[in-house]
């Protein structure tokens, strides 16, 4: 019997990015950069850690996160969207993240 040298595991991937980021940058570059750069450290990364996941990759306005469980990924996404709803509750422009699972 030949052993398979490839390590296999199941994972749920959550992709998040700011919807309409280019348009927002065109309207208010400095404000958009300040808002978008605050979300990962203040909300997204703590939410991912709380629902045992890890950030795999970040981009300018988004990220990829990995979870061992699809349930944890969905729970994280729900908590993240609830947190964004609270953050968007003020008079400032709304920031909307598009979330996808893989």
So what's the pLDDT on residue 47? Answer: 94
So what's the pLDDT on residue 61? Answer: 84
Instruction: Look up the domain containing 67 and give its range.
Output: 12-101
Residue 43 in any domain: the answer is yes
Residue with tokens 């950030």: 55
Cβ neighbours of residue 32 closer than 8 Å, sequence gap 6 or more = 21, 24, 25
Residue 73 in any domain: the answer is yes
Going by pLDDT thresholds of 50, 70 and 90, the confidence category of residue 13 is very high
So what's the pLDDT on residue 34? Answer: 84
DSSP state of 23: H
Instruction: Give the largest CA-CA distance in the chain.
Output: 65
Total domains, the chain: 1
So what's the pLDDT on residue 92? Answer: 54
So what's the pLDDT on residue 32? Answer: 83
So what's the pLDDT on residue 89? Answer: 65
Residue of 7, 32, 8, 34 whose CA lies nearest to 21: 32
Residue 74 in any domain: the answer is yes
- Which phi and psi (to 5°) does residue 39 adopt? -60, -45
Residue 97 in any domain: the answer is yes
CA atoms of 28 and 35, how far apart (whole Å):
11
CATH number at residue 77: 3.30.70.1230
* Contact between residue 32 and residue 24 where contact means Cβ atoms under 8 Å apart: yes
Work out the average pLDDT over 10-24.
89
For 43-93, write each residue's pLDDT tens digit. Answer: 899 999 999 999 999 888 889 999 999 999 999 999 998 988 888 765 556
């Amino acid at each position: 019997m030949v052993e398979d040298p490839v390590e296999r595991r199941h994972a749920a991937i959550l992709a998040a990015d700011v919807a309409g980021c280019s348009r927002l940058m065109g309207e208010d570059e400095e404000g958009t950069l300040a808002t978008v750069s605050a979300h990962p450290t203040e909300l997204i990364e703590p939410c991912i850690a709380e629902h045992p996941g890890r950030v795999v990759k970040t981009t300018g306005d988004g990220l990829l996160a990995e979870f061992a469980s699809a349930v944890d990924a969905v729970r994280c996404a729900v908590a993240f969207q609830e947190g964004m709803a609270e953050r968007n509750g003020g008079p400032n422009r709304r920031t909307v993240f598009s979330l996808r699972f893989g």
